[in-house]
Amino acid sequence: MGPEWAFEVKWDGYRLAIHVEPNGVRILTRGGHDWTSRFPAIAEAARQIGTTAILDGEAVVVDEEGRPNFSALQKALGGRGGKRSADEAILYAFDILYFDGHDLTRMNLEERRHILEPLFGSDGAIRLSEEIEADGAEFLASACSVGLEGIIAKHRRQPYTPGRTGDWLKIKCVESESFMIVGYEPSSVANGGIGSLLLAAYRGTAWQSVGSVGTGFDAGEAQELRATLDKLKTKRPVVDVKGKGIVFVQPTLIAEVEFRGWTDEQKLRHASYKGLRDVQDNSAVFKMP
C-alpha cells in the first residue's frame, strides 16, 4: 500500500452513528436502532460539540491496558437483550459525515479528518481514533503483538461511501465475525451444558451452515446459553445439518466468533466463541460472498 492509504486501529465493539441535532443527540446502531439511553456518557460528550454533526465511530469498553474488550462491553450492556446503560463505554470517533449544517460525505477522507481531529482528544467519553503513520505490515504486526483485533486501511482520497467498497479494508490478526446460532450439541461430560454451538451465515436471504464452535465459553456460560437456547427449540431447522443429539433452535441469538479461516467446504476453521451480540443486531450477521 502506498502513501494514499491511512491506517488506524480496528476497535472491537459496536459501530455507532452519533447524530447531534438542534434538539438533542441520537445514537443509532448499524441496524437503525436508537441506543441513546444505553450510552449516556457518549451522548453527553456529543452534546458538548455545540453544533450539528454526525459522527461515525465504535463504542468499546477497554481493559486496564487500554485494549478494547468485547465481552466487557457485552456485560456492561447487560448481555443479550439487556437494557443496561454502559456508562463505562467510550466512543472512538473515526469519521464525520456532517458538521455545522454541512454535508461532508462528498469530501475525501483527508478533508473530513481535518474537520474531525480538532473536536476530540485522547481522553473523555468520545476520543479521536488516531491515524497511525507507519508501514502497514509493521503496524499490523505491532497491533497483533499487543493483543488488538487488527487494523483498518483507508484510502485518503475517497469520499464517504457506506457499505463494502474497497476504500476501507479490515486487516485482522485473527478473523472475527458474527454468526447466527441455529442449534447446539449437548455436552457429553457436563450435565445441562453445551458441547458446541451450530452456526449459520446469510446466503442471500437464506441461512447457510458454517460449522460449529465448541471453545471459548466456560461451564457457567455454557449452562446459561443452554437454558436460553432451550426456550428457542424448534422442529423446523433453518439449516440442513445431520448429527446425533443435535437440538435445533430458532435463529435469534447472534454469536461473535473468532476463527482462523475457512475450509474448502466453507466451514469455520479453529473457531472460538467470544460472546453474544444484541438480539437487535441482525445487520451484523456475516453474509457469505
* Residue listed under C-alpha cell 509493521: 138
The CA-based diameter of the chain, rounded to the nearest angstrom, is 61
Where helices occur in 15-135 by DSSP H, the ranges are 40-47, 70-76, 109-116
Looking at 10, 154, 172, 274, which residue is catalytic? 10
| Rg of the chain taking only CA atoms, in angstroms | 20
Distance CA 15, CA 128 (A): 14
Distance CA 137, CA 151 (A): 10
Where helices occur in 105-189 by DSSP H, the ranges are 109-116, 136-145
Task: Let me know: does 97 contact 104? Beta carbons within 8 Å.
Answer: yes
Q: Is 287 a catalytic residue?
A: no
Distance CA 156, CA 204 (A): 32
Pairing of strands 126-128, 90-99: parallel
Distance CA 51, CA 5 (A): 30
Task: Let me know: does 217 contact 224? Beta carbons within 8 Å.
Answer: no
Distance CA 212, CA 194 (A): 12
Strand order of the sheet with strand 168-172? 5-9, 150-155, 168-172
DSSP at 229: H
State the sign of the Cα–Cα–Cα–Cα dihedral 140, 68, 77, 57. negative
The set of catalytic residues is 10
